Structure 1
Amino acid sequence: MRFPVISLLQRLALVGLLGLGAVHVARAAPDGQGAPDKFVQDVADETLNALKAGGGVKPGDVARVNQVVTQHILPYVDFEKTTRLSAGRYWRQATPEQQKALAEAFRGTLVRTYAGALTRVDNQTATKTLPFRGDPKADDLVVRTVISQSNGQNTGVDYRLEKTASGWKIYDLNVENIWLIQNYRNQFAQEINQNGIDGLIKALNQRNK
């Protein structure tokens, strides 16, 4: 089973969520109850500041990379919702045990992707949050950004957020008009049709090894 969108996620992790924090200054923890665009910016700044602390990540230091991902990204991402929407109608057909196993397997896939990109962050990467369009009081909205890199390329990255009881959570990402959930939904459906939900879980876990 192949998941070609992984390369898209690696690029996203490099120029998107992780690339937002180009200025290394002390900041307060991201405020999930505040403005959504500031929340996205603060999550990225916190991640990159942690990555740069102590001289940055040394090649092969997988343990530290995973620690940064676990501490500074996972708390702000709703992996279960991302998995549920990616599975589509098949999520309702899965047993509670299968739903839990699928969410955990997909979480591992996304974490591995972000971790793999952390060591390739460009110090010159910067972002500009575009003017917010929509109701800032909405519970589900999109924050748009443009990422610039040292090679002169600009990349549009959008973040879909939902307001939960604990604050804003990121659950979908769009790089150059390609939404993460939409891509995975097609791939999940193909694998489930061929090998069932357990087959999809197995395929994801194999990639996470």
Structure 2
Amino acid sequence: MQKFSSLFFSRRLTRLLTAGVMGLFFAGSGAALAQDPVDANASPNQFVEVVANNALAEVKKNRAVQSGDLNTINQVIDQYVLPYVNFEKTTRLAAGRYWRQATPQQQKDLVEAFRGTLVRTYSGALANVDQRSSIAILPFRGDANADDVVVRSTLSQGNGPAVGVDYRLEKTPQGWKIYDLNVEGIWLIQNYRNQFAQQISQNGIQGLIDALNSGNK
């Protein structure tokens, strides 16, 4: 079995995910340091902006995050990002047709393993964010009353050109949830779908779960 790190993480993918995470954590460069309540039923743009501003405020004041402490970074992600992300849908779409072939326990295990992979990736990104970076939420396009929308933004980086970062959201009974990310034209789910399919075709659903968990150790 190929190790997860070599199979799933090209330099380009890591860079794109880093930009996406920076986008989520640096929305609204002029954000106040006070935490605002998140209204999951607000407009899509407002929802993303408040989630991002709250996370940014915590990152700015938390020296352990700035120093790269992984335990603290994971706590921040758990508190400020994960409640607003639908990991089950992200995993189900990434697995594609193979999702239906998995047992209920394998589906649960795959969600947890993939969640660990993304958290690990986000943790590495947060330890290296550029404090000069900022992101502008762009005017909303489409029907704000739709159940599936895209929030667009532009990330300005201190050490590189500006890039586009888009967030796909779905409306759930609990309000908006983020479930996909697009950086420089590459959607996260589509990228993982291709790589998941390769791993599953070689080693089955359990092989994919094992590969993900191996990379999370």
TM range (shorter): over 0.9
Q: Which residue of 1 aligns with 2:143?
A: 135
Change (3 A) 1:176 1:60: closer
CA spacing shift, 1:60–1:125, aligned 2, 3 Å: closer
Which of 23, 30, 34 does residue 30 from structure 2 map onto?
A: 23
TM-score under structure 1 normalisation?
0.94
Q: CA deviation at 1:142?
A: 0.5
Contact 2:95 2:193 (8 Å CA) reproduced: yes
Please list every run of 5 or more consecutive structure 1 residues that lacks an aligned counterpart in the other structure: none
Give the share of equivalent positions with the same residue, in percent: 60
Write out aligned runs for 1:48-197 (5 A): 48-55=56-63, 57-151=65-159, 153-197=161-205
Q: Which has the higher helix share?
A: 2
Aligned match of 1:198 in 206, 209, 217? 206
CA deviation digits over 1:20-55, x for unaligned, max 9?
142341241221100101111111111111112244
Which structure 2 residue ranges, 5 or more long, are not aligned?
Answer: none
| SS at 1:29 equivalent | coil
Cα distance between partner residues in 2 of 1:76 and 1:133: 21
What's the Cα RMSD here? 1.5
Q: CA deviation at 1:59?
A: 2.6
